[in-house]
Amino acid sequence: MFDHLKAQPQDKILQLIQMYREDARDGKIDLGVGVYKDATGLTPVMRAVKAAEKKLWEVETTKTYTGLAGEPAYNAALCGMILGDVVPMERVASVATPGGTGAIRQALELIKLAAPDATVWLSNPTWPNHPSIIKYLGMKMAEYRYFDAETRGIDFGGLMEDLGRVQAGDVVLLHGCCHNPTGANLDAAQWDAVVRLLAEKGAMPFVDLAYQGFGDGLDADAAATRLIAKSFPEVLIAASCSKNFGIYRERTGILIGIGDAGGKGVLQGNLNFLNRQNFSFPPDHGARLVTMILEDDALTADWKAELEEVRLNMLTLRQSLADELRRVTNSDRFDFVATHRGMFSRLGLTEAQVVRLREEHAIYMVGDSRINIAGLNARTVPLLAAAIAQVS
């Protein structure tokens, strides 16, 4: 049987990690992999997470199964963090999922159950796992323009033109904040216009919120998601705690479905059903830590303070890279780095330039010239800027 299997294409980022590991040069710089790293290159366990883990070890009395939807306290705490009070909770169904990816996968399966012919619209570019899962599920997809290769900002004219072709009942996947891979994000007026257009078209928004707290702050980063949540009769939100709680390997996410009050029972039942088919009960450890942090004022304050340090560190690195590039290229070509938000920026270099950076300077970034800002530190910012100036 196994000889009928076809080799799967290698994940480009995992391939890059491998190449980086095998590179024996001193001073090599990894700007590829999408995890937060501090100035020493480590991805630490957050203080509040450690404290919650210690407490959990003391108070946990059983490891029997949770509910199919996860623990209600987790869902309530996370829905509160994401939605604030913009929608009445009677309209909100939710399930805990294994990471944000699990939530995305379940959302797409729900769409497939409800409307197998719906087209899912993705930004061009987007996180490669979006099209990959959609293709795997055999669903229809289309692209809307997003990134302006000239300005490295949003191609808003192209985006609106393409979303103008969306049909009633289509699904439009939007990054709630901190767009991956570009780092370019819609401003408030642009979000308003997109929401008006999609509402007019009768489309359903599907928000991927993987970096809340990494851009402009916890509430600011949820603003677009909240606007969407209150503006449409039906919305799906797939959120991840991997980055903002730094619990990547605990696989902690949530899928939120907003429908009309009467639909909640059926919607919730379908979300539970999908969990049951795919993995039965969702993982609990990470979800429990998140709940303990969000339910305890002191832990919440400490977590928020550390998350803010992380966010400000990335902003400082952005500004110093933009300043350094301005200095070494004697131009404002790279000023966009300071206005991008989140962990990533697409620099707009050619594939050949990316290869030169790797081969000649031991600087590793994804082939589309996406860099992980958190992979930098005060020492490596000038090295990167000088190398970019040399190859571009």
Binding site residues, ligand PMP, CB under 6 A: 34, 99-101, 127, 175, 180, 208, 210, 240, 242, 248, 253
Nearest approach in angstroms of CB 209 to ligand PMP is: 8
Nearest approach in angstroms of CB 174 to ligand PMP is: 11
Task: Output DSSP code: residue 197.
Answer: H
158 strand-pairing partners: none
Residue matched to tokens 């998140």? 290
Phi, psi dihedrals of residue 23, rounded to the nearest 5°: -80, 120
Nearest approach in angstroms of CB 237 to ligand PMP is: 12
CB 363 within 8 A of CB 369: no
Q: For residue 109, what are its two tokens?
A: 């399966």
Task: Identify which of residues 101 and 353 has a Cβ nearer to ligand PMP in the complex.
Answer: 101
Task: Identify which of residues 155 and 208 has a Cβ nearer to ligand PMP in the complex.
Answer: 208
Quickly list DSSP for 118-133: PEEEEEES--THHHHH
Nearest approach in angstroms of CB 43 to ligand PMP is: 13
HEC sequence for 20-50: HHHCCCCCCEECCCCCCCCCCCCCCCCHHHH
CB 365 within 8 A of CB 354: yes
Nearest approach in angstroms of CB 37 to ligand PMP is: 14
Other Cβ atoms less than 10 A from the Cβ of 1: the count is 4
Task: Identify which of residues 175 and 341 has a Cβ nearer to ligand PMP in the complex.
Answer: 175
Q: Crossing angle for the helix pair 285-294 and 297-329, nearest 10 degrees?
A: 100
Residue matched to tokens 């090295």? 383
Among the listed residues 44, 76, 34, the one whose alpha carbon sits nearest the alpha carbon of residue 214: 34
Task: Identify which of residues 242 and 291 has a Cβ nearer to ligand PMP in the complex.
Answer: 242
Enzyme catalytic residues: 127, 208, 210, 243
Phi, psi dihedrals of residue 201, rounded to the nearest 5°: -75, -15
- Which residues are within 8 A (CB) of 76 and not within 5 positions of it... i.e. 6 or more apart? 89
Among the listed residues 355, 384, 381, 385, the one whose alpha carbon sits nearest the alpha carbon of residue 367: 355
Nearest approach in angstroms of CB 105 to ligand PMP is: 9
Nearest approach in angstroms of CB 104 to ligand PMP is: 6
Task: Identify which of residues 252 and 320 has a Cβ nearer to ligand PMP in the complex.
Answer: 252
Task: Identify which of residues 225 and 320 has a Cβ nearer to ligand PMP in the complex.
Answer: 225
Among the listed residues 231, 225, 221, the one whose alpha carbon sits nearest the alpha carbon of residue 197: 231
CB 22 within 8 A of CB 30: no
Nearest approach in angstroms of CB 288 to ligand PMP is: 16
Phi, psi dihedrals of residue 96, rounded to the nearest 5°: -70, 145
Task: Identify which of residues 14 and 266 has a Cβ nearer to ligand PMP in the complex.
Answer: 14
Amino acid 138 reads: G
Task: Identify which of residues 320 and 372 has a Cβ nearer to ligand PMP in the complex.
Answer: 372
Other Cβ atoms less than 10 A from the Cβ of 142: the count is 16
Among the listed residues 297, 301, 308, 298, the one whose alpha carbon sits nearest the alpha carbon of residue 217: 308
